[in-house]
Amino acid sequence: NTAGTYLFSNFTVRLRPNQSLILPKYLHYYLRSPKARQVIADMHRTTSGLRNLQMSDYLSQPVMLPFPDNPERSLVEQRRIVARIEALLAEVREMRKLHGEITADTGELMASVRHELFSQLTDVAILKFDDIAESRLGKMLSKSAKTGQYSKPYMRNANVLWDEFKLDDVLEMDFPPEEQEKFRLKVGDLLICEGGEIGRTAVWNSQIGECYFQKALHRARLRDNKASPRYLMHFMAWAATNGEIAKLHTGSAIPHLTGVKLKTLDVLWPEPEKQFYIRYLFT
């Protein structure tokens, strides 16, 4: 329904439905359904490492129609189905908008609480990051690490959010036996972004079992097993908001937090009991 003239490239195929049998919107929503997407995924062929779709296969797939023997009744039912789908999608968009507003409000509240708490920690030790945690960068990504012989999932910058991990796009590379102890993640490890939003931190809790990490991330492992990893994560969030972490990045145009600089970060470090109390306030 968009006005104007449009062209399409040779990597795009135009479909023009027979509207006496099927509504374009019905076909659109059907092709987005899990059933149709799986059928299409099974048609993919790989050529020179690239996935391709043969249109002869694509056009031969079955399409489910209501009342296929009665086109007039089928179109009426298709309109009803499309209307119901679009009503539900409108509700989903509204819920996503509301969720975004709630998330933003929650983030602002958490930042405010962190500021209040850490600003009041005036009678605690101030230690260098290196005094409280052993830290190292992960494995460098390279073509030689993609043979598949020792393929393992690993975390990269895009997977690490504040206080959570994005696990719907986890990649793999080789971690041979001699590297596994060095780069394997353990419960309680902190992963800290070296680039992008430097200092962004989440605590690993074995979310996907055996997993490793890439060089774009620092792994911090507390030296005192009585201390709270989540306290340190909340401190990192406060330090990022407060500008303390930004002071550490190198002078290049792209923010970059080196291992050497991270080790020099001053950390407010109360006794473990108080750490767990502060951590409890955010649960």
In a domain, 116, yes or no: no
What predicted TM-score, i.e. pTM, was given to this entire model? 0.66
Q: Which domain holds residue 258?
A: 121-281
Looking at 152-161, 183-192, 241-250, which range is the least confident one?
241-250
40 and 153 part of one domain: no
Residue that finishes a domain, picked among 63, 87, 109: 109
pLDDT higher at 207 or 191: 191
Domain count, the chain: 2
pLDDT at 44: 83
Provide φ and ψ at 171, rounded to 5°.
-95, 170
Domain co-membership, 105 together with 141:
no
Average pLDDT, the chain: 90
Here the contacts of 138-145 (C-beta below 8 Å, separation 24 or greater) are: 138/183, 138/212, 138/213, 138/214, 138/215, 138/216, 138/217, 138/219, 139/173, 139/175, 139/179, 139/183, 139/212, 139/213, 139/214, 139/215, 140/214, 140/215, 141/173, 141/214, 141/215, 145/173, 145/174
Q: Is the residue at 85 inside a domain?
A: yes
Residue 114 in any domain: the answer is no
Same domain, 133 and 272: yes
pLDDT digits (tens, 9 = 90+) for 244-266: 998 888 666 778 899 999 999 99
Q: Examine the fold and report which residue of 65, 84, 109 is the final residue of a domain before the chain moves on.
A: 109
**In this structure, are 24 and 151 located in the same domain?**
no
What one-character-per-residue DSSP string does 69-94 give? Answer: T-HHHHHHHHHHHHHHHHHHHHHHHH
What is the tens place of the pLDDT at every residue in 213-247? 999 999 999 999 889 999 999 999 999 988 899 88
Q: Are residues 143 and 267 in the same domain?
A: yes
- 76 and 11, same structural domain? yes
Q: Residues 46, 161: one domain?
A: no
pLDDT class for 164, splitting at 50, 70, 90?
A: very high
Which pLDDT belongs to residue 229? Answer: 95
User: Which residue spans within the chain are E strands per DSSP?
Assistant: 45-47, 50-52, 125-128, 133-137, 151-155, 160-161, 164-165, 171-174, 190-193, 201-203, 212-213, 217-222, 266-269
Residues 136, 209, single domain; the answer is yes
Whether residue 42 is contained in a domain is answered as yes
The per-residue pLDDT for range 45-87, each reduced to its tens digit, is 876 667 788 888 999 999 999 999 999 999 999 999 999 999 9
Q: Are residues 104 and 128 in the same domain?
A: no
Name the domain boundary from 74, 109, 144. 109
